[in-house]
Structure 1
Amino acid sequence: MHRISVRVDPALYLRLQRRAGGANLSLSDFVRSILAEAADPRGRYIYSSQDELLATGIQTLTLLATAIGERSPQVLERGMRDARAVLEQRGLLSAEQDQ
């Protein structure tokens, strides 16, 4: 097996650690999975295929949040608070992003 050594700034390192923990992976396993995706043997560009899924998910959730917010703003507020907590626990939302 070959070894790759990469230097990253402290902020990026902490974000990678948080994301790895959220995925229940070691940092090395997490980074290996990122590199494997970037070097997809089918030549797929790693960002474009996920962008379409993300856009569809955002549109769907926006429609749902709008409908819930019109019926019960308190339920929407509680749901958003719960979602932020889950995202933060998984390393997908840092405390400074949540402001």
Structure 2
Amino acid sequence: MDDTLYLSLQRRAQGANLSLSDFVRSVLAQAADPRGRYIYSSQDELLGIVIQILTLVATSIGERSPQLLERGMQDAKAVLRERGLLDPEQDR
């Protein structure tokens, strides 16, 4: 495994509060699932609710202060980048 991939996986594991071994095992289990299900599917409903709430909050803030919304988006990207959750292709 090259250093870049190793470091990326290590950041993702830390962001998920897992050891690197546990994180890699979960990724491999997901890839090996014959039905192609997401291995953390029990969290999908919660994730959907959080996305809806954040969309409402962002819309409200954006209407009142576009500058504040932009600053919040930059802060969010920084946190995602720090945890290895932001795809470098999307970080533009």
TM, length-normalised to structure 2? 0.68
The equivalent residue for 1:28 is 21
For the residues of structure 2 that align with 1:54 and 1:31, how far apart are their CA atoms? Answer: 22
Hey, what does 2:79 align to over in structure 1?
86
Corresponding residue number in structure 2 for 1:50: 43
What secondary structure sits across from 2:70 in the alignment? helix
Secondary structure at 1:92's aligned position in 2? coil
**Whole-angstrom distance in 1 between the partners of 2:57 and 2:78:** 19
Aligned residues: 84
Q: 1:47 to 1:29 in 2, by over 3 A?
A: closer
Larger helix fraction of residues:
2
CA displacement at 1:27 relative to structure 2: 1.8
Tell me, what secondary structure is at the counterpart of 1:91?
Answer: coil
Number of the residue aligned with 1:77: 70
* Backbone CA RMSD of aligned residues: 2.9
Gaps spanning 5+ residues in structure 1: where? 1-7, 39-44
Could you list the runs of 5+ residues in structure 2 that have no partner in the other structure? 31-37
- Can you list the C-alpha shifts for 1:10-56, whole angstroms capped at 9, x where unaligned? 98655423302434654224335x37x97xxxxxx734321111110
Aligned residue type for 1:17: Q
Of 13-22 and 53-62, the range deviating more from structure 2: 13-22
State the match for 2:35 in structure 1: none
Larger radius of gyration: 1
